Amino acid sequence: MTEIQPRKSATPAPTSWEYAPAPESREVVTLRERYDHYVGGEWLEPSETYTTISPSSEESLAQIGQASPEEVGLAVAAARDAFANGWSALPGAERAKYLFRIARILQERAREFAVLESLNGGKPIKESRDVDLPLAAAHFFYYAGWADKLEYAFPNRSPKPLGVAAQIIPWNFPLLMLAWKIAPALACGNTVVLKPAETTPLTALLFCDVVRQAELPPGVVNIVTGDGRTGAALVTHDDVDKIAFTGSTEVGKAIQRELAGSGKRLTLELGGKAANVIFDDAALDQAVEGIVNGIYFNQGHVCCAGSRLLVQESIYEQLIGKLKRRLSTLRVGDPLDKNTDVGAINSKLQLEKIEELVAAGKEEGAEIYQPPCTLPEKGYWFAPTVFTNVAQSYRIAQEEIFGPVLSVLTFRTPDEAVEKANNTMYGLSAGVWTEKGSRILWMAERLRAGVVWANTYNRFDPASPFGGYRESGFGREGGRHGLEPYLRFE
C-alpha cells in the first residue's frame, strides 16, 4: 500500500510578521505659520514668539506666542468682563447648550484633532484617536449635563460660580487636560484663561476655532501660550479667583507657596509613582496586558502610570518571562502610523531626564531589559524598558521617571505588598490584580492612593473622580466632585 502524502498548502508560510506602514494622512490638518493668543474672542498678536516642533521628526511646525504679563493681563480682563457681563448670569440650560455644541464639534473634527495631537506631542495616533479625543468630547457632554442641575448636585447649598479660573496644563494629554479643566469650569458659570504647555500648544489653539464655531460668547474661554513664565504671570495675577494646575510636584509646590494667604482657590494634580500589584492568583495574560497598558501607554508620560510593578514571588519568573515576550511585540516608531504602540518622547528635555534616571538605575545595581528595536534616527525616542532586581531605595523606585520605564519589585504576603506600595511620597493611583474580590477590597482599603484600579489599569470615565493626595496634590477632577472646585456655596 502506498503512503498517503499530506497535501501541500498552496500559500507559503510567512517567514516574518512585519507590519506594512499604515500612516495616517496629515492632509486633514492645516497649520498656520504663526498662532496668536486667543483673547476676548479675537486673535491677539504676540509681542514675542517661539517655535513649536514635532518631537518625532524635530520638524518645525509653527510660531507660537510667548505671552508677556501684559498679554496675560488682557486675557484675564477679557475673562472678567465676560464673567460679569453675561456668562455667570446665564441660565444653566443655556450654558449647557454651548457645552453640548463644543462636544459635538469635537466629535465631528476628531480626526483633525487626533492627527494634530500626535504631530505636536508624539503620542501614537491610535491613542489620540481612540482615547484622548473620545474622552475629551465625553467630558464636555458629561459636564453639559450638570450645568442646569447644580442645585440638585449640591442641595440646600446655593452653588455660585467663583469668577475667573486660571488653568495651567501639561504636555502629556494636551486636549484631554484642556477638556478636564474647561468643561466643569464653564458648566459652573466661570470664565477661563488657559495656558497649554510650551511644547504642545497646537490642539488648544485649534480648540479656539471650536469655541468660535460653537458661538461661545467672547471672553468666556481665553488661551494664552508660552513657557513657565506665562504660567507664573497667570498664577500671580490679582484678578484671578481660582487656579487649577496639572504638572510636576515641584511647580505645584511653588504655586501653593505663592498663593498662601491670597484667598485664591487652588487644585493641584501632580506626579505619581503608582504600584501595580500582581498576586499569584491573577489571570497572568490579562495582567501582562494591564502592566503594558499601565506603563507603556503614552510612552509612560502619564501621572498615574503603573511605574512600580509589585509581583508576588511565586509567579515572578513566569510573569517576567511573559512580560518580556510581550515587550518584544511592541512597535516603536512614527506616531502617525496606525500600527505604532509607543511613539516619541515629548521633548529633548524629557528624554534627557529619562536617560539620567535610567543611568542611575543601572549604576545602583538594577538589571535592565530592553527588547531589540530600531529607533528612528531623528526625533526623541526611548525603547520600552524593564528594570528587575530593584531595591526600594533606588531612585528608579522612588522618583517619577515619566517615560516608558518599569521598575519591578517582589513581595511575599499581602501585608508586604501594601507596605511596599505605600512606600512613596505620592498617592495618586494603584492597581491590583487578583481573582479574589475580597482581596481587592482589602487592598483598596489600605492602598494610599486616590484611584485604585482592580484587574484593569488606566481606565477613565468623565463620571468618575480622579485626583491624589500627599505629594500627588489635592482636589478632584471628573464626576460630581469635579464641580466643587469651581463653586462657592452661600
Catalytic residues: 269, 303
**For the chain, how far is it from start to end, CA to CA, in angstroms?**
98
Are residues 192 and 177 in contact, defined by beta-carbon separation less than 8 angstroms? no
> Shortest gap between Cβ of 458 and ligand NDP (angstroms)?
13
Question: Which of 125, 164, 274, 303 touches ligand NDP (CB under 6 A)?
Answer: 303
What's at 248, amino acid-wise?
A: S
> Least distance (Å) from ligand NDP to the CB of residue 150?
28
Q: How far is the CB of 10 from ligand NDP (least distance, A)?
A: 54
Of residues 384 and 468, the one with the C-beta less far from ligand NDP: 468
| Helix boundaries (H) for 38-124 | 69-84, 92-108, 110-121
How many whole angstroms separate alpha carbon 151 and alpha carbon 156?
7
Number of residues that bind ligand NDP (CB under 6 A): 27
Give me 382's grid cell. Answer: 526611548
- Cβ proximity to ligand NDP, 81 vs 227, nearer residue: 227
Cα Rg of the chain (Å, integer)? 24
For ligand NDP, which residue of 128, 167, 172, 312 counts as binding (CB under 6 A)?
172
All three cell numbers of 112, joined, read 483633525
Binding mask 197-236 for ligand NDP (x = CB under 6 A): xx----------------------------xx--xx--x-
Q: C-alpha angle 88/229/425, rounded to 5°?
A: 85
Residue selected from 101, 181, 195, 308 as contacting ligand NDP according to rule CB under 6 A: 195
Task: Tell me if 445 sits within 8 A of 423, measured CB to CB.
Answer: no
Q: Which stretch binds ligand NDP (CB under 6 A): 58-66, 156-164, 169-177, 458-466?
A: 169-177
Distance in angstroms (rounded) separating the CA atoms of residues 357 and 396: 6
- For residues 97-126, which are near ligand NDP according to CB under 6 A? none
Question: What is the per-residue DSSP string for 190-213?
Answer: -EEEEE--TT--HHHHHHHHHHHH
Contact letters (x/-) for ligand NDP, 438-467, by CB under 6 A?
Answer: ------------------------------
Nearer to ligand NDP, 214 or 251 (CB): 251
* Type of residue at 69: P
User: Under the criterion CB under 6 A, does residue 66 sit at the interface with ligand NDP?
Assistant: no
φ, ψ (nearest 5 deg) of residue 373: -155, 145
Distances from the Cα of 363 to the Cα of 357, 359, 367, 395, 398, angstroms: 10, 6, 10, 10, 15
Select the residue interacting with ligand NDP from 31, 90, 254, 454 (CB under 6 A).
254
Binding mask 350-369 for ligand NDP (x = CB under 6 A): x--x----------------
* CA distance readout (Å), 431 to 255, 288, 290, 357, 443: 30, 12, 9, 23, 10
The CB-side HSE value for 212 (13 A sphere, CA atoms) comes to 13
Residue type, 60: S
Does residue number 95 form part of the binding site for ligand NDP (CB under 6 A)?
no
Least distance (Å) between residue 307 CB and ligand NDP: 10
Out of 75, 114, 244, 270, name the contact with ligand NDP by CB under 6 A. Answer: 270
- List residues binding ligand NDP (CB under 6 A): 168-172, 195, 197-198, 227-228, 231-232, 235, 246-248, 251, 254-255, 269-271, 303, 350, 353, 400, 402
